[in-house]
């Protein structure tokens, strides 16, 4: 029968291709009937008009459901159910014995080409694209055979007449996929053996000559190769004769070696290897990196241990050890609760030995540093948030951190060993709690702030800073207002309160007495009242009233000591208050003007100018003149006015009556130009901003009893030129003349000989721009066309083309290379009083900052960053990098040739996280201390 089925299949295969899909139950039924040779003899059927009797020639089974009594006549095969003389015994028919060669679950299989059924040997042969499934197991292969008696499946690859692989055996079980030349697998025991097998386990791409699977989680490999490179011929790999894999846990090997491009590195052979395959967090050692520095000697950096405490907490220990005796310890616990909060804390302790003990430049110091970050999820408590960002420690800590230390490393490979912390001289921290009452206009914030200057070693702590605000409410406005409402219904009132506490001390001379002497506190209360009047034609009128009150904890006095010829100072502690009220009224409008060019051929068709003049009047009475005093400040008899609240947390209110007229003018300029992209008749013009804003503002105090009624005039400019260059400029113009020491004279600048608008006292200019190349176009079609053209060339023509390319490389350079450059220039100057009160000095600061990168190819990138100080005429910081994308590896070269910390480093490391610590690193750093 098997030969007959095979012949039939062969005949059908020649004519057409069919898909066959059977179930194992149908196959077993046909096999059972064929093996036992049972048949139904239809010739024994007899028919009658009243009764049809059927005699079954098949002997009765022993487990028949009806057991007859010996008294029943054998001539009647169907007993009368109404005859009580016959005893009928019912037997359970579900007692069916399962075959020993059956499997736990049905096996579904299909073949694209054909199927051959060998009934006698209980085997099935599938040809073409076959597919066999059982539970979570799926097998696909060009040729598959299944032995039903042993539950063994065999599959193998198939080659065409030219030796090209048409398909391989692919077995998928759970999350493991294997591709082999041939395999044998038992559906019952789930054991198997494969040959020339590729499979992936976590981040490892594996190949082995033989793989033996002993259970769903464990299998062994013979003469294996594993790597994190996903190419068929990997750039690098580890080779071992015997490997044991435990799915999702670990891979253990015997002696293991490394090879690059198929070439083994013979000296590099480890006696055994353990490669973790666990996904997610798990405890383990953190390997160090070797480094050499001029000040610290040979060192191991980053040696540590990572411990998972539970699902919500873990802790990291790291240490740096150097041959000159320096060391550093970092402890970093972190915590997280999903949808609630997360954060981490880092405590660093370091002991620094610069140079040898017998060296004259030998320095020993101890320092610490603490960082803490915390964040709450806004969904946990709507309206309530708590965050922390703390950076505090000894001033000498950052200066003594090597530029290549692991705490200095960035995630950007191009800046992996940059040293920004060595140039940081200002540290700040904040801990904030905020609460907003939903549906109410109240909000509260409590902040703890820290500021530290590492150069002066001065530390300022704000413990705490409390703000309570009430948004503007309209007491006369009904809950449901119809229309615009009455004018008095738009009267609004608000409140803003602030309480501050500050402690100042030097970290090198910390003492509780110093803290008590320098502690300050203060408070400020502001009650603004506003009225939004309807617009009066083209004018908008806005009246306002404000009440402010400030609380102080001390008064600061200066006095002239004629004997010593200097100014003495003293501080008086206590509770002091100051109040101020002001009334204001402002009127603003806008004036528009457009200049149209008559020639329609010009690129610029029109220029639009918008002017926004503002005039205001304000008044506040003299409530604080008693807080000011005038004393002699030098031996020449010059006097100067000071406030008793100088140096306090809140500056003093201005003294004297003020009845000022404020004025200001803001301008906006834009042009309408022809669009080069849109040539339609309706939308061929586009707007281009020329100047976003430029103008001036000042005030004139009508009630000032002194000569200086006109305030300084502030000029400003904002613009974005060509949608690329950002320009911001501002300056203050003093309208009064000054003497040789810079002190004001009672004379306007335009009075007397010559004409001048005033003296420029301070100003700033900032110019920044960012340039980058266009996004690289998709050249797939072009490249395909090029390949088609080359395919049509003969061998001689192809060689001639290659020779021409080598002789003329400049004609084939790809200029479609991504790049970006960021440049910013800043200039500022300010006149400040000299310490001896002899006059004023002008201080200039000017610097140029730049950074950018340039991709030589898709794999090579070059970049640099730094800034130039024009005042010092030097480059305080400059660094450059070169990176190379090597598919599965990354190379980075970093050079910092100038600065406080000069360094050079080169590192080559795999990209995979599994092998992140397997890197080749060479670092040298030099200090200018």
When pLDDT is averaged across residues 169-182 and rounded to a whole number, the result is 85
pLDDT of residue 253: 92
Q: Rounded distance, CA 72 to CA 166, Å?
A: 69
| Angstrom distance (rounded) from CA 107 to CA 103 | 8
The average confidence (pLDDT) of the chain is 78
Beta strand ranges found along 654-754 (DSSP E): 658-674, 685-701, 713-721, 725-734, 736-738, 744-748
Return the H-helix or E-strand segment holding 921.
Answer: strand 920-927
| Average of per-residue pLDDT across 475-487 | 79
Long-range CB pairs of 408-415, under 8 A, 24+ apart, other chains included: 413/883, 413/890, 413/892, 414/853, 414/861, 414/863, 414/881, 414/883, 414/892, 414/894, 415/865, 415/879, 415/881, 415/894
Contact 920, 909 (CB under 8 A): yes
Sorting pLDDT into bands at 50, 70 and 90, what band is 911?
confident
Q: Residue 345: which pLDDT band, with cuts at 50, 70 and 90?
A: very high
Answer for the pair 71, 84: CB distance below 8 angstroms, yes or no.
no
Strand 628-632 and strand 604-620: the pairing is unpaired
**So what's the pLDDT on residue 777?**
58
pLDDT at 729: 93
347-403 pLDDT tens trace: 999 988 876 777 777 778 888 889 999 988 888 888 899 999 888 888 777 776 665
Q: Which run of H or of E encompasses 9? A: helix 2-15
Dihedral of alpha carbons 247, 250, 256, 261, sign: positive
Question: Which long-range contacts link 912-921 to residues 24+ away (Cβ below 8 Å)?
Answer: 912/203, 912/228, 912/888, 913/203, 914/202, 914/203, 914/204, 914/228, 914/275, 914/276, 915/228, 917/286, 917/287, 919/289, 921/289, 921/290, 921/291
pLDDT tens digit sequence for 523-577? 999 999 988 787 788 888 888 899 999 999 999 999 888 888 888 888 898 999 9
This model's pTM is above 0.75: no
What whole-number distance in Å separates Cα of residue 258 and Cα of residue 236? 7
Tokens read off for 910: 């795999």
Phi-psi region of 752 (alpha: psi -120 to 50; beta: other; left: phi over 0): left
For residue 461, give Cα distances in angstroms to 453, 500, 571, 752: 12, 10, 20, 52
Residue 164 half-sphere exposure, CB side, CA atoms within 13 Å? 2
Q: Residue 310 has which token pair?
A: 């539970």
* CA-wise closest residue to 130 among 195, 176, 183, 175: 183
Contact (Cβ atoms closer than 8 angstroms) between residue 393 and residue 366 = no
């Amino acid at each position: 029968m098997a030969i007959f089925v095979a012949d039939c299949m062969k005949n059908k295969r020649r004519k057409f291709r069919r898909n066959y899909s059977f179930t194992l139950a149908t196959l077993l039924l046909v096999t059972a009937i064929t093996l036992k040779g049972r048949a139904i003899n239809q010739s024994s059927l007899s028919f009658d008009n009243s009764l049809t009797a059927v005699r079954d020639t098949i002997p009765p089974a022993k487990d028949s459901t009806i057991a007859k009594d010996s008294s029943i006549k054998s001539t009647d095969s169907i007993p009368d159910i109404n005859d009580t003389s016959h005893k009928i015994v019912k037997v359970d028919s579900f007692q069916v014995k399962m075959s020993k060669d059956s499997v736990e679950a049905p096996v579904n299989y299909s073949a694209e080409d054909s199927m051959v059924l060998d009934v006698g040997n209980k085997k099935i042969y599938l040809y073409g694209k076959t597919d066999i499934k059982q539970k979570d197991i799926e097998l696909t292969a060009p040729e598959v055979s299944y032995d039903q008696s042993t539950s063994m499946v065999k599959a193998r690859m198939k080659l065409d007449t030219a030796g090209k692989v048409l398909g391989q055996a692919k077995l998928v079980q759970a999350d493991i996929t294997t591709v082999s030349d041939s395999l044998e697998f038992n559906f019952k025991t789930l054991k198997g053996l494969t040959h020339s097998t590729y499979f992936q386990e976590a981040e490892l791409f594996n190949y082995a000559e033989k793989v033996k699977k002993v259970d769903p989680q464990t299998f062994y490999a013979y003469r294996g190769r594993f790597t994190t490179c996903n190419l068929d011929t990997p750039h690098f790999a580890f080779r071992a004769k015997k490997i044991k894999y435990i799915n999702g846990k670990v891979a253990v090997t015997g002696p293991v070696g490394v090879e690059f491009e198929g070439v083994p590195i013979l000296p590099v052979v480890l006696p055994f290897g353990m490669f973790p395959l666990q996904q997610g967090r798990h405890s383990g050692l953190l390997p160090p990196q070797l480094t050499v520095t001029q000040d610290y000697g040979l060192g191991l950096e980053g040696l540590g241990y990572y411990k998972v405490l539970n699902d919500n907490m873990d802790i990291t220990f790291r240490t740096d050890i150097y041959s000159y005796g320096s060391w550093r310890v970092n402890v970093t616990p972190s915590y997280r609760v999903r949808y609630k909060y997360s954060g981490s804390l880092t405590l660093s302790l370091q002991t620094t030995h610069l140079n040898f003990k017998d060296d004259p430049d030998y320095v020993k110091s101890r320092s610490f540093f603490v960082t803490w970050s915390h964040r709450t999820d806004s969904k946990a408590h709507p309206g309530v948030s708590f965050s922390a960002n703390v950076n505090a420690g000894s001033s000498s800590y950052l200066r003594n951190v090597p530029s290549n230390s692991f705490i200095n490393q960035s995630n950007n490979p191009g800046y992996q060993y940059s040293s920004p912390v060595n140039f940081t001289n200002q540290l700040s921290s904040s801990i904030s709690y905020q609460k907003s009452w939903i549906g109410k206009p109240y909000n509260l914030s409590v902040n703890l702030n820290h500021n530290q200057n590492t150069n002066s070693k001065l530390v300022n702590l704000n413990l705490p800073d409390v703000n309570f605000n009430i948004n503007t409410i309209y007491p006369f406005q009904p809950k449901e207002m119809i229309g615009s409402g009455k004018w008095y219904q738009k009267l609004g009132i608000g409140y803003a309160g602030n309480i501050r506490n500050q402690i100042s001390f030097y970290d090198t001379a910390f003492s509780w007495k110093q803290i008590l002497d320098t502690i300050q506190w203060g408070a400020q209360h502001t009650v603004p009242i506003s009225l939004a009047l309807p617009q009066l034609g083209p004018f908008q009128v806005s009246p306002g009233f404000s009440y402010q009150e400030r609380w102080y904890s001390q008064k600061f006095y200066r006095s002239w000591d004629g004997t010593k010829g200097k100014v003495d100072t003293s501080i008086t502690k206590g509770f002091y208050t100051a109040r101020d009220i002001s009334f204001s009224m402002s009127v603003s409008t806008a004036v528009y003007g457009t200049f149209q060019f008559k020639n329609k051929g010009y690129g610029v068709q029109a220029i639009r100018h918008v002017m926004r003049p503002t005039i205001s009047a304000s008044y506040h009475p003299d409530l604080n003149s008693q807080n000011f005093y005038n004393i002699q400040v030098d031996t020449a008899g010059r006097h100067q006015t000071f406030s008793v609240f100088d140096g306090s947390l809140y500056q003093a209110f201005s003294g004297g009556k003020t009845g000022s007229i404020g004025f200001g003018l803001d301008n906006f300029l834009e042009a309408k130009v022809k669009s080069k992209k849109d040539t339609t008749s309706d939308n061929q013009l586009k707007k281009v901003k020329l100047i976003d804003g430029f103008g001036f503002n000042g005030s004139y105090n009508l009630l000032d009893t002194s000569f200086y009624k006109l305030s300084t005039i502030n000029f400003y400019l904002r613009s974005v030129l060509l949608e690329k260059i950002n320009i911001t400029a501002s300056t203050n113009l003093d309208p009064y003349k000054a003497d040789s020491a810079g002190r004001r004279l009672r004379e306007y600048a335009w009075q007397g000989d010559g004409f001048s608008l005033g003296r420029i006292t301070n100003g700033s200019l900032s110019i920044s721009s960012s340039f980058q190349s266009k996004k690289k176009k998709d050249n797939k079609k072009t490249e395909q066309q090029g390949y088609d053209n080359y395919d049509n060339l003969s061998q001689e023509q192809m060689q001639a083309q290659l020779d021409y390319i080598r002789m003329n490389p400049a004609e084939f350079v790809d200029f479609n290379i991504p790049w970006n450059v960021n440049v910013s220039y800043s200039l500022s100057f300010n006149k400040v009083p000299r310490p001896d009160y002899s006059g004023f000095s002008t201080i200039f600061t000017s610097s140029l900052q730049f950074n950018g990168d340039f991709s030589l190819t898709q794999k090579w990138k070059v970049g640099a960053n730094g800034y130039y100080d024009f005042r010092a005429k030097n480059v305080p910081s400059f660094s450059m990098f070169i990176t190379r994308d090597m598919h599965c590896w990354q190379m980075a070269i970093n050079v910092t040739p100038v600065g406080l910390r000069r360094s050079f480093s080169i590192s080559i490391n795999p990209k995979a996280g599994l092998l992140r610590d397997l890197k080749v690193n060479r670092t040298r750093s030099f200090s200018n201390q």
